[in-house]
Structure 1
Amino acid sequence: MNVLTRTAFKTTVAALALIGLSLPAYADTQVQDAWVRATVPGQPSTGAFMQLTASTDSQLVGVASTAAKIVEIHQTSMKDDRMNMNKVDSVALPAGKPVAFDANGYHVMLIGLAAQAKEGDQIPLTLTVQDAKGTRQTLDVQVPVRALNSDGHDAHAGHGAHMGH
């Protein structure tokens, strides 16, 4: 390699290294054990359950689906021996810590279903996650529909059951 070629090579490597340093660190969020509870004919809503793990401190800030008119993040809680469920705008996803979406806490509600959710179907969900720096990531997932009586605890199920909707 002559001197000019070596200099060009070193300059190119240095430039590529600088470009790599200037790229934003992209938060990676993993979706695991996702599933939707099947419905009976005419049932207008159902729940979606999963586990989310973000690589950096992040938040789930939105969920969308073509399978329902309205998609909301809900939180179930107990107060004075009474179960309450409320819509929430976001859910914290601490770096490296799995966050369960199940009937006993956070979950996704699909309201105004376009069609009955039948066991074996796939429901499209688009999750929007925002990291601490404000960078947004969208995750498109195809979520399997499980039996109406699924409790989410078998080997192929997610975390938790969905009741009361």
Structure 2
Amino acid sequence: MKSNILAAPVLGALFLGILGAGAVADPITQKGLTISDAYIRAMPPKAPVAGGFLKIRNDGAEADRLVSAHSPKSGEVQIHEMTMNGSVMKMRELPEGLPIPAGETVELKPGGYHLMFVEVPEPFAEGQTVEATLVFDKADEVTLPFEVRAMRSAPQAGEGHDTGHSGH
């Protein structure tokens, strides 16, 4: 399941949800990176994928890169980018990873960069915690909990777009 681009109409999109409040754990700091606000949206029954979101702050002197991720609760975790072209959403995997520039915060959020938990054998349910490991070029590996939050099928006013991964 390694398609590089997925285009789908925004209407009917289900999976990535809207940014929620709070986080299940305190921020984790390692080698200049601070990782916070990690969460996953709950999945509808039989859905094979889920979106994961978090913030990565780089207070180090040089750039780093999120090169991969993995979780015991998912067959694969991919790093994705979502962009809009009019009313068409384009989703693509970032096989080279995601740059984390020095002195900046990169937010993985609905409608932009995100983690895609693929081949999920048991749908994630609201209230669960899913452990995942992020692998960085310089900061090595960081394992953290992702809170599973309620899924929303449509954005609230001013909150952006849900994005569809039903084609995965």
Is the pair's TM-score, using the shorter chain for normalization, greater than 0.5?
Answer: yes
Larger Rg: 1
On the 8 A contact 1:102/1:160 being kept in 2, the answer is no
Q: Secondary structure at the match of 2:119?
A: strand
On the 8 A contact 2:89/2:163 being kept in 1, the answer is no
Q: 1:91 aligns with which of 89, 98, 116?
A: 98
The AA in structure 2 aligned to 1:113 is V
Deviation at 1:102, TM superposition (A): 1.1
Q: What number of residue pairs does the alignment pair up?
A: 131
- 1:42 correspondence with 2:53: no
TM norm structure 2: 0.70
Deviation at 1:96, TM superposition (A): 2.4
Q: 1:82 aligns with which of 79, 85, 88?
A: 88
Q: Secondary structure at the match of 2:75?
A: strand
TM norm structure 1: 0.71
Q: 1:70 aligns with which of 76, 95, 106?
A: 76
Structure 2: distance between partners of 1:27 and 1:102: 23
Distance 1:152 1:35, change over 3 A: farther
The AA in structure 2 aligned to 1:141 is L
Deviation at 1:129, TM superposition (A): 1.0
**What does the per-residue CA deviation read over 1:74-94, in whole Å, with 9 as the maximum and x for residues that have no partner?**
000123542100000211101
% identical aligned pairs = 27
Question: What is the aligned partner in structure 1 of residue 126 from structure 2?
Answer: 119
On the 8 A contact 1:69/1:113 being kept in 2, the answer is yes
On the 8 A contact 1:63/1:71 being kept in 2, the answer is yes
Structure 2: distance between partners of 1:152 and 1:125: 26
On the 8 A contact 2:64/2:136 being kept in 1, the answer is yes
Q: Secondary structure at the match of 1:68?
A: coil
- 1:104 correspondence with 2:111: yes
Higher relative contact order (CA 8 A, sep 6+): 2
On the 8 A contact 1:73/1:106 being kept in 2, the answer is yes
Q: Secondary structure at the match of 1:164?
A: coil
CA RMSD for the aligned pairs? 2.4
**Unaligned regions of 5+ residues in structure 2, if any?**
1-29
On the 8 A contact 2:111/2:163 being kept in 1, the answer is no
